[in-house]
């Protein structure tokens, strides 16, 4: 079952993100260093991961 990605605080090293439209897959090699806590992102700008105009999902 796929989980919608909210931001960089939702992904950890080794996670695979996939585009539900074209099937592109990306593997997380390094975690965000600005995240803060698991419940609130400390990044200066909003962060999400998208492809083909759609949010990527975590496999």
| 41 lies in some domain | no
The CB-side HSE value for 42 (13 A sphere, CA atoms) comes to: 7
User: pLDDT value at position 5?
Assistant: 64
> Could you report the per-residue pLDDT of 7-55, keeping only the tens digit for each?
787 888 999 999 999 999 999 999 887 766 656 666 766 678 899 999 8
What total number of domains does the chain contain? Answer: 1
H or E stretch including 4? Answer: strand 3-4
Tell me which residue range forms the domain holding 15: 1-30+48-53
Whether 2 is covered by a domain: the verdict is yes
- At 3 the pLDDT is 67
Whether 16 is in a domain gets the answer yes
Cα(first)–Cα(last) distance of the chain, in Å? 7
- Say if CB 14 and CB 27 are below 8 A apart: yes
pLDDT at 17: 92
Helix, strand, coil distribution of the chain in percent, nearest 5: 5, 25, 70
pTM: predicted TM-score of the whole model, two decimal places: 0.74
Q: Considering the domain boundaries, does residue 21 fall inside one?
A: yes
């Amino acid at each position: 079952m796929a989980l919608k990605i909210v931001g960089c605080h939702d992904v950890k090293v080794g996670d695979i993100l996939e585009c539900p439209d074209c099937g592109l897959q990306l593997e997380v090699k390094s975690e965000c260093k600005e995240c803060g806590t698991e419940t609130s992102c400390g990044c200066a700008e909003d962060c999400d991961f998208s492809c083909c105009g759609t949010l990527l999902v975590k496999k």
